[in-house]
Amino acid sequence: MHPAVNRQRLCASRLPRCNEADRGYTPANLFSQVGTVVSCDIILDKFTSKSRGFGFVEMSTQEEAAKAIAEFNGKDMDGRALTVNEAKPAKSAPVAALAVAVVAVVVTSVAVAAVVAATKLTQAS
């Protein structure tokens, strides 16, 4: 069996928003207490480059992931109760693109209707 098959991606939210690296704390360090951390991605604000308070941790096995959930979900970190659960699969890009296209069509239809109505009002006066 390929080793990647058993990996489990977790979503960790309500992480402390302070500069964790300055205090020696990182989510990878925390989760490594219960197993092997394959990857750790903390989501940063694109303008300030500060943590947005959530991220994704990939554990090497499903058993380690279950242990991490049991150990850290609800754990108090700097006055915030962590939320740790299985990460949901990312939405596919074609669905997101389709949603944008539908919104664009609706907005365009409304704009055309407004122009037609304004033209009729101008012609009537």
pLDDT in 10s for each residue of the chain, 125 residues: 445 556 899 999 998 766 555 555 678 888 999 999 999 988 888 898 888 888 999 999 999 999 999 999 999 887 889 999 999 887 665 555 555 555 555 555 555 566 666 676 667 66
Q: How far is CA 77 from CA 51, 87, 88, 106, 112, in A?
A: 15, 20, 24, 45, 53
Count Cα atoms within 13 angstroms, Cβ side, for 37: 16
Asked if residue 29 lies in contact with residue 38, where contact means CB atoms within 8 angstroms, the answer is: no
Given this model, what pLDDT does residue 1 score? 42
Give pLDDT, residue 45.
Answer: 87
Is residue 68 a contact partner of residue 11, using CB atoms and an 8 Å limit?
Answer: no
Task: Tell me the torsion sign for CA atoms 66, 71, 72, 75.
Answer: positive
CA distance 2 to 9: 16
